[in-house]
Amino acid sequence: MDLLEYEKKLYQSGIKYIAGVDEVGRGPLYGPVVTAAVILPEGYMLDGLTDSKKLTPKKRDKFYDIIMHDAISVSIGIKSNEVIDEINIYEATKEAMYEAINNLSVKPEHVLIDAVKLEKLDVPSTSIIKGDARSESIAAASVIAKVTRDRMMDEEAKIHPEYGFEKHKGYPTKMHIENIHKYGILDKHRKTFEPIKSIINGSDLNERRSKRKRSRKKEKVI
């Protein structure tokens, strides 16, 4: 697959500055959603660059440093868990993308976005399904966003070592959910996400009690 397919068509039309945009952190129960906008030099290719989720942490860190050095402009957009709870994760993601694009030091002439459509942009844009695996610019943005958010979670792990943020990065893993039940809900947990929402209103606790009762009844029958 030619990761410069979209970029080449734009370059051929006379466009020079193309921003790739991607997000990380729509699924976690904890912390912000992070977006990145990256403008690469014309024709720029980084061997092995692809969707950040397919790369090892070591490879992502290496690519992060290279992209930060080589890119024409890089910008980050962040929306907190409070904003996510207030306007929902999809809208918060879009707002973080606008923030990243608007804060680029060089104004893009076209924006390539992973899946999301941004209606309020004042420049042309293209939304590409699975764009982080189909566009060099979006792949670069996915690496910057992923490494940025992962490092934020590593810092949270130092503050709350018992939650294991350095391992699950705030995603709803079994470990994370068990630690929430054990140690409680933190300020940066997303209160509108399940099972956080149910834990807060008590329905999760009631359901777990019901499951234990049903389990005991089965044991007695056996």
pLDDT in tens, 124-181: 999 999 999 999 999 999 999 999 999 999 999 999 999 999 999 999 999 999 999 9
- For residues 62 and 108, give the distance between their C-alpha atoms in angstroms, rounded to a whole number: 25
- For residues 152 and 147, give the distance between their C-alpha atoms in angstroms, rounded to a whole number: 9
- Residue 1 confidence class, pLDDT cut points 50, 70, 90: confident
Indicate if the pLDDT at residue 220 is higher than 70: no
164-199 burial code (b ≥16 CB/10 A, e <16): bbeebbbbbeeebbebbeeeeebebbbeebebbeeb
pLDDT in tens, 14-68: 999 999 999 999 999 999 999 999 999 999 999 999 999 999 999 999 999 999 9
pLDDT in tens, 110-126: 999 999 999 999 999 99
| Domains in the chain: boundaries | 5-157, 162-221
Q: Which residue reads 């907190």 in tokens?
A: 80
Question: And the tokens for 110?
Answer: 């076209």
- Residue 70 confidence class, pLDDT cut points 50, 70, 90: very high
pLDDT at 204: 59
Indicate if the pLDDT at residue 221 is higher than 50: no
- For residues 83 and 174, give the distance between their C-alpha atoms in angstroms, rounded to a whole number: 25
Nearest-10 crossing angle of helices 136-159, 57-70:
120
- For residues 41 and 120, give the distance between their C-alpha atoms in angstroms, rounded to a whole number: 25
- For residues 181 and 172, give the distance between their C-alpha atoms in angstroms, rounded to a whole number: 12
Indicate if the pLDDT at residue 94 is higher than 70: yes
- In the CATH hierarchy, which fold is given to the domain comprising 5-157? Nucleotidyltransferase; domain 5 (3.30.420)
pLDDT at 202: 87
pLDDT at 170: 98
Separation of first and last alpha carbons in the chain:
58
- For residues 75 and 108, give the distance between their C-alpha atoms in angstroms, rounded to a whole number: 12
The helices-and-strands tally (H runs, E runs) of the chain is 9, 5
Q: What is the CB-side half-sphere exposure of residue 202 using CA atoms within 13 A? A: 0
Indicate if the pLDDT at residue 203 is higher than 90: no
Reported pTM: 0.90
Work out whether strand 73-79 and strand 110-114 pair parallel, antiparallel, or are unpaired. unpaired
